[in-house]
Amino acid sequence: MTRRCPLVAGNWKMNGLLASLAEIAAMGGAYDSALRARLELVVCPPATLIGMASDLATQASIGLGGQDCHAAPSGAHTGDISAEMLKDLGARYVIVGHSERRAGHGETDAIVQAKASAALRAGLAPIICVGETRAEREAGDALRVVGEQIEASLPADSPDTIVVAYEPVWAIGTGLTPTVADVAQMHAFARERIEARLGGGKSAGVRILYGGSVKPANAGELMSVANVDGALVGGASLAAKDFMAIAEAYRVIG
């Protein structure tokens, strides 16, 4: 059976000034060799900090990721950054299709797929976000919506190094989380749909993260669910103390 190394990734969103780089150093201080053997840790600061975070993250054995990329490698796209630019600064990952970008920037599944392909072209692993809205869950449509997002957002020729993050939109930043049973159902379903999309048994190697109000208090329970291979953490990733308390859950998860 394929062993998937758990991944806990922090999405700082539009937060963080130069002083926030101290949090990365503090995370490194708590990321001891026993924990490093159990999980991979990644921080996705705003683009303004990635260059300066690079050496710090390397020293701390923490991976770096971007929060978005343009589909093109370069060109006349004012304000955008490419996957190649992120790679150039030392990033290994990039989040694509976060619900805040789907909602706030009109990103469709086709755009998300093009960005994921761009990440792979540049040698980055895309963290491809999917998830239903509250109305879709209440209408009983959560599985259908997420299944369709997986089908349309993942490049068909993806390697198993891609990461999929299931983030119910209604759970992001709200303090609400799905039940353990709902998370188990969705993650098992997501793996089936990833296999249907990629084929060749590749889904066994793809890490599926849960995201949405993960906190130190609920990380152990959520990360222990079958097919949950880690977390995408927003608010609780800004302070090293909280982020590392979430990572600590893996010290005891088998």
Q: Provide the annotated active-site residues.
A: 98, 167
Q: What size, in residues, is the chain?
A: 254
Name the maximum alpha-carbon separation found in the chain: 49
Smallest separation (angstroms) from ligand PEP to the CB of 95: 8
Smallest separation (angstroms) from ligand PEP to the CB of 196: 25
Q: Which parts of this chain interact with ligand PEP (CB under 6 A)?
A: 11, 167, 172-173, 211-214, 232-236
Shortest CA distance to 9 belongs to which of 101, 103, 115, 125?
A: 125
Smallest separation (angstroms) from ligand PEP to the CB of 26: 19
Axis-axis angle for helices 47-59, 21-30 (nearest 10): 30
Smallest separation (angstroms) from ligand PEP to the CB of 232: 5
Choose between 83 and 232: whose C-beta lies nearer to ligand PEP.
232
Choose between 150 and 169: whose C-beta lies nearer to ligand PEP.
169
Choose between 194 and 238: whose C-beta lies nearer to ligand PEP.
238
Q: Which residue's CB comes closest to ligand PEP?
A: 234
Smallest separation (angstroms) from ligand PEP to the CB of 49: 17
Cα–Cα distance for residue pair 24/45, rounded to 1 Å: 10
Choose between 13 and 193: whose C-beta lies nearer to ligand PEP.
13
228 half-sphere exposure, CB direction, 13 A CA radius: 29
Cβ contacts of 141 within 8 Å, gap of 6 or more: 132
Q: Which own/partner pairs from 113-116 qualify as long-range (CB within 8 Å, at least 24 positions apart)?
A: 113/152, 113/153, 113/154, 113/155, 114/71, 115/68, 115/69, 115/70, 115/71, 115/83, 116/153, 116/154, 116/155, 116/158, 116/162
Smallest separation (angstroms) from ligand PEP to the CB of 241: 15
Choose between 84 and 132: whose C-beta lies nearer to ligand PEP.
132
Cα–Cα distance for residue pair 9/158, rounded to 1 Å: 20
Q: Is 227 within 8 Å of 183 (Cβ atoms)?
A: no
Q: Is 150 within 8 Å of 126 (Cβ atoms)?
A: no
Choose between 136 and 242: whose C-beta lies nearer to ligand PEP.
242
**Cβ atoms within 10 Å, residue 204:** 14
